[in-house]
Amino acid sequence: MIDVTVKMKNHDLNEREVKILEVFLLNLAAQSNASSTKTGMAMNPLEKLHNDEVLHYRFAWQSSISEELLGEFKEGLERRFTVAFKMCDLPEGELIYKENAYLERT
């Protein structure tokens, strides 16, 4: 399980544009998962705590994946997201991971 957040500082996107970007990034995450793990992945939305967050999701697999597969998944996400932001002529978003989120206690 991994929490993924994408932040875009000082963006001027309206709510609809943020939602479209979010769906686009989720599709890219599904592609990354399919090419790296080749297993199903749940995508659960998390509360966006700041205005600069355009994506905040928890990705989870039914059974544990190896560190190597997780690394491949993250690498695929970074590559796809970077290209997507460039192709959409948007400032590159900051990609933040929080691994094993279920282990941390607040």
Q: What is the pLDDT of residues 39-64, one digit of tens each?
A: 999 999 999 988 899 999 999 999 88
- 102 or 33, which is more confident? 33
- Do 86 and 92 touch, CB atoms closer than 8 A? yes
Q: Indicate the pLDDT class of residue 10, thresholds 50, 70 and 90.
A: confident
**Is 3.30.70 the CATH classification of the domain at 2-103?**
yes
Taking the whole predicted model, whether its pTM rises above 0.85 is answered as yes
**pLDDT number for residue 16:** 96
DSSP for 36-61, written as a single string: HT-S-EEEEE----STTEEEEEEEEE
Residue boundaries of the structural domains of the chain:
2-103
